[in-house]
Amino acid sequence: MSRYLAMARRQMRDLGWARAAGDFASELLFDVWYGIETWRPRGFWDRKIEGGVWEDLVQYQGANPRIVRKVLGSVDWDPGEAAFVDYGCGKGRVLVLAAEAGFRRLVGLEYVPEVAAICRMNLARAEPWMRRATVAIQQVDAADYVLPSGAVVAFLYNPFRGQTLRRVVERLRGHARKHPLLVAYVNPLGLAEFTVAGFQVVGRWECRGRLEAVTLRVRDGESLANSAPVGMGSLGPGGSG
């Protein structure tokens, strides 16, 4: 309980109480609207000692719909043409938001079996509002996931760090050599792993001087596949605040 209170305090400090309270209210409303449960955080601190994936894993907490809608709204690719992959999809909130934004091929990767089960249940409940999107929830270590060929929007809400993050960045870098790839990273605490690997920030969102989210692509000239796919425009500049 004290960890959750500490998380709430951190939100207040980073966003200011008015926005933190507004964000919390919007998360509850989101759940009520779709008839799902995504608002409650879930920690796995006791599993850390097991090492491996558990050591790198960040607890479940859903990304706020406000920032996710802003980030997805900045993507001017045709969402019907790109696969959307949520790395660490938790209870599925971002997959619902991606369907709302028009993405039709959705993949959610979740390591923790009980969280993946909640995600499947939530998506079954939200199905009438998912605009005929197809969703595949895979209960796997995201670092082992092989991306489908073609254009991909890869979403991360600070899901993991360390070796797991490095392995995922490597895979994404490999995908970008052959296919168009855009990375949307909310609370980008591991941003340096991406920039070191040759990604550049193409959109950024800040709140009270704190970086809330970025979009990334492989640096120009490093990948032929990095240009927008046929039928898709380029990425618009990211707003702030």
Task: List contacts with ligand SAM (CB under 6 A).
Answer: 53, 57-58, 60-63, 86, 88-90, 93-94, 109-112, 115, 141-143, 157-160, 164
Strand-strand pairing, 210-218 and 199-207: antiparallel
Residue among 175 and 226 whose Cβ is closer to ligand SAM: 175
Residue among 103 and 223 whose Cβ is closer to ligand SAM: 103
E strands of the chain, at which residues? 83-87, 105-109, 134-138, 152-157, 181-186, 199-207, 210-218
* Smallest gap from residue 221 Cβ to ligand SAM (A): 31
* Smallest gap from residue 63 Cβ to ligand SAM (A): 3
How many other CB atoms are found less than 10 A from the CB of residue 55?
15
Chain residue whose CB lies nearest ligand SAM: 88
Residue among 77 and 155 whose Cβ is closer to ligand SAM: 155
Q: Is 146 left (phi over 0), alpha (psi -120 to 50) or beta?
A: beta
* Smallest gap from residue 223 Cβ to ligand SAM (A): 25
Tell me how long the chain is.
Answer: 241
Per-residue three-class SS string for 183-206: EEEECCCCHHHHHHCCEEEEEEEE
Going by the DSSP 8-state scheme, the letter that residue 62 receives in this structure is: P
Residue among 160 and 205 whose Cβ is closer to ligand SAM: 160
Sign of the four-CA dihedral 94, 100, 103, 104 = positive
How far is residue 173's CA from residue 181's CA, in Å, rounded to a whole number? Answer: 9
Rounded to 10 degrees, the C-alpha dihedral 13/14/17/20 comes to: -130
